[in-house]
Structure 1
Amino acid sequence: MWRKTLITYANSVLLRCRSMATRPSPDVSAAVNSILLRSLKDHYMEVSKMTPPPKVNPPAPFTVVKGSLDSGGPVLKRSYKDEEVSVSVMRLANIIPEGGDDDDDDDDDSINQLFVHVNISKPGQADSLHFLCGLYPDALGIHSVSLRPKVENSEASTLEGLINKYNGPTFEALDERVRDSLHGYIQERGIDESLFPFLQAWQYVKDHRNLMQWFKTIGTFVHQGKEVTTQAQ
């Protein structure tokens, strides 16, 4: 849905701007800005009227990380014995751009395929255990497992340290018994398909907020540039 809105908006603005650019007038720049601002406002109002999904609570004992909608960090957290478990999420479409024409089925597929990052940390340990997983309505699959420096350990979190650190074999290369044991390990900590309904709804809301903010910030930038041009004249 969001991608369709952006493509429709971009095509309409491009056509209008090309039309204005062919007119020999000293006010072409101001006219293009006005068209862009009007289009941004129209699409902002259209997006603002979209009906949000029903509110879904995360499965206990997970809780929502405060401020997660406005950051790129973890969405959910919980304690498991002496461990801290955190979950971050993003849509598959945000990692692998879709190609070809858009349709409703493509939109449904992209939101039904989530990538989740699971971090499990222990007190006194410099590293945390990191799982990258594919999450679907009825299944969860592990893509990779590695040890990574904790976020607060700034020295160990340098880019050079991450590049030079051995992250282990690919998950498919592991013995089947090891793979099954790793699945059991994270399932014991509540990482399974039961997280999907909440994370799907949460991602819808975040996409909506991001798109609204995008229209607003681009419009503010163009409007300020319009004011500067007017004053200069």
Structure 2
Amino acid sequence: MWSRARRGCGGWRVLQARRMISSRPPPVSVSSAVNSMLLRSLRDHYLEVSKMTPPPKVSPPSPFSIIKGALDSEGPVLKRSYGNEEISIYVMRLANIIPGGDDEDDNINQLFLHVQVSKPGQKDSLHFLCGLYPDALGIHSVSMRPKLQSSGFLVLPSQYNGPVFQDLNERMRDALHSYIEERGVNESLFPFLQAWLYVKDHRNLMHWFQRVGTFINEQKPSKDASSSM
């Protein structure tokens, strides 16, 4: 019985040793090789993307102007004044909000606009969520919401968000379309916003390659350096 117990104990030790071996991290040389392979791939893709030809430069339709720093933020892209109102336009691809669809051209040619109409002295503003296409603009919803700061894209309403736009009668829907069209929000914005999003997507991709490469390439601090801190 005692011998069986010793044999059982030895088997347990062998099993534990196997588990320890299988749980050990890969040799440093293997890890370095994987990192080098990944860094080479990142560099190759970075160089490939950097050679892509940007679209022709397009200016926004007058009197809209580009907001400084818009490429590096998620805030508004364009703004203009209309009487005592300020019109701010945010944009992103509709495909980024509603994924899916097999036609890549359709996904590229569908933009999602967030139009804010604000007035001085009022904490709330009028918000239009719209779909923008090369030849048309459609309103999805209209609501009153708190004014947005330049750092944000959408703010969830904290109060009644208004009726479903399609439930409004045709006369009111047409009047709301006329309201934003009078302020210059129409399909004439599409060429500029399409080109602007291309540049932003390109910059984001380049920055992604750089950030991932920097993270992978960062050296682990030595024990001496960490103990001296």
* Cα deviations by residue, 1:155-180 (Å, 9 ceiling, x for unpaired): xxxx7xx4541101111111111100
What count of residue pairs does the alignment treat as equivalent?
194
Any gaps of 5 or more consecutive residues in structure 1? Answer: 1-23, 153-158
Deviation at 1:69, TM superposition (A): 0.5
Q: Matched residues in 1 for 2:101 and 2:135: separation?
A: 25
Q: 1 CA distance for matches of 2:182 and 2:210?
A: 43
Q: CA deviation at 1:33?
A: 1.1
Unaligned runs of 5+ in 2: 1-25, 150-154, 224-229
Residue number in structure 1 paired with 2:114: 117
Deviations 1:89-122 (A, max 9, x none): 001122122367xxxx51x222200001000001
TM-score (norm 2): 0.80
Runs of at least 4 residues off by over 3 Å: none
Using the size of structure 1 for normalisation, the TM-score is 0.79
Report the 3-state secondary structure (helix = DSSP H, G, I; strand = E; otherwise coil) of the residue aligned with 1:228: coil
Choose which of 27, 30, 33 in structure 2 pairs with 1:31: 33
Change (3 A) 1:99 1:179: closer
Q: Which amino acid is the alignment partner of residue 92 of structure 2? A: M
How much does 1:228 deviate?
1.1
In 2, Cα distance between equivalents of 1:34 and 1:98:
35
Where does residue 196 of structure 2 map in the other structure? Answer: 202
Aligned to 2:129: 132
- The RMSD of aligned alpha carbons is 1.9
Larger radius of gyration: 2
CA drift of 1:25 comes to 5.0
Alpha-carbon distance between aligned partners in 1 of 2:32 and 2:47, rounded to the nearest angstrom: 23
Question: 1:92, 1:212 → 2: CA distance?
Answer: 22
Q: How does 1:136-215 map to 2 (within 5 A)?
A: 136-151=133-148, 162-215=156-209
> Any conservation in 1 of the 2:145–2:157 contact (CA below 8 Å)?
no
Give the structure 1 partner of residue 75 of structure 2.
Answer: 73
Identity of aligned residues (%): 70
